[in-house]
Structure 1
Amino acid sequence: MNPLRLAQIEMFCAVVEEGTVIAASRRLNCVASNVTARIRELELLLGQDLFFREKGRLILTPEGRLFYQKAGPIVSGARDLTDLFEEGRPRGILTIGALDVALEGYLPGIVPHFLADCPEVELRVLLRPTYTLERMLAEGEIDLAVTDGPIVHPLMASRLTFHEKLALAMPGGQTRLRAGPKDRQHVFLFNTDCLYRRFFETWLESHGVTNAVIHTVESYDVILACVQSGLGISCIPRSILLQVRQDRRDGIDFTYPEDLQGSDVYFIWREPGLNDLGRRFLDHIPAVLNIHEK
Structure 2
Amino acid sequence: MDIGLLRVFQAVAEEGSISKAAQSLSYVQSNVTARIQQLEQELKTPLFYRHSRGITLTSAGQTLLEYTVRIFKLLDEAQQAVLDSPVPKGSIMVGSDTTAAVRLPAILSAYRSCYPDVEVQLQIRRPSELIDAVLQHTVQGAFLDGPVEHPEIVQELVINEQLGLIIPDSMDYEDLQSIHGQTLLMLNAECLYRMRLDAWLREEGLRLGKVMEFGTMEGLMACVRAGIGFAVLPVSYFRRMNITQGISCYPFPERYAEVPTVFIRRRDLYMTSAFREFIEVLKVHLPEAVFCNELPAAGGRRVDA
TM-score normalised over the length of structure 1: 0.60
**Match of residue 266, structure 1, among 258, 262, 266:** 262
Aligned counterparts, 1:206-217, within 5 A: 206-210=203-207, 212-217=209-214
- 1:252 match: 247
The change in CA–CA distance for 1:85 and 1:211 in structure 2 (over 3 A counts) is closer
1:211, 1:204 → 2: CA distance? 7
Contact 1:101 1:239 in 2 (8 A): no
Cα shift readout 1:205-243 (whole Å, capped 9, x = no counterpart): 433332501111233333333333333222122232123
Does residue 175 of structure 1 match 2:174? yes
Write the deviation string for residues 121-176 of structure 1: whole angstroms up to 9, x where unpaired: 22111111211111111111111111223333322211224221211123332324
Computing the radius of gyration from Cα coordinates, the structure with the larger value is 1
1:209/1:274 CA distance change after superposition, 3 Å: farther
Q: 2:149 aligns to what SS in structure 1? A: coil
Higher helix share: 2
Are the equivalent residues in 2 in contact too, given 1:179–1:210 (CA < 8 A)?
A: no
Bigger RCO of structures 1 and 2 (CA < 8 A, at least 6 apart) = 2
Cα displacement (A) at 1:88: 4.2
Distance 2:144 2:221 in 1: 23
Inter-CA distance 207–185: structure 2 relative to 1 (3 Å threshold): farther
RMSD of aligned Cα (Å): 2.9
Q: Aligned in 2, Cα 1:273/1:231: closer, same or farther, shift over 3 Å?
A: closer
- Which residue number in structure 1 is paired with residue 217 of structure 2? 220
C-alpha separation in 2, matches of 1:257 and 1:290: 20
CA contact under 8 A between 2:181 and 2:210: conserved in structure 1? yes
Q: 1:273 to 1:171 in 2, by over 3 A?
A: closer
Q: Give how far 1:193 is off.
A: 4.5
Q: Distance between the aligned counterparts of 1:197 and 1:211, measured in 2?
A: 9
Given that 2:162 and 2:252 are in contact with CA atoms closer than 8 Å, whether structure 1 keeps it comes out as: no
Equivalent in the alignment of 1:104: 102
Deviations 1:108-130 (A, max 9, x none): 23212222232222211111121
TM-score norm. by structure 2 comes to 0.58
Contact 1:130 1:193 in 2 (8 A): no
Count of matched residue positions in the alignment of Structure 1 and Structure 2: 204
Structure 1, unaligned runs of 5 or more: 1-80
Contact 2:238 2:249 in 1 (8 A): no
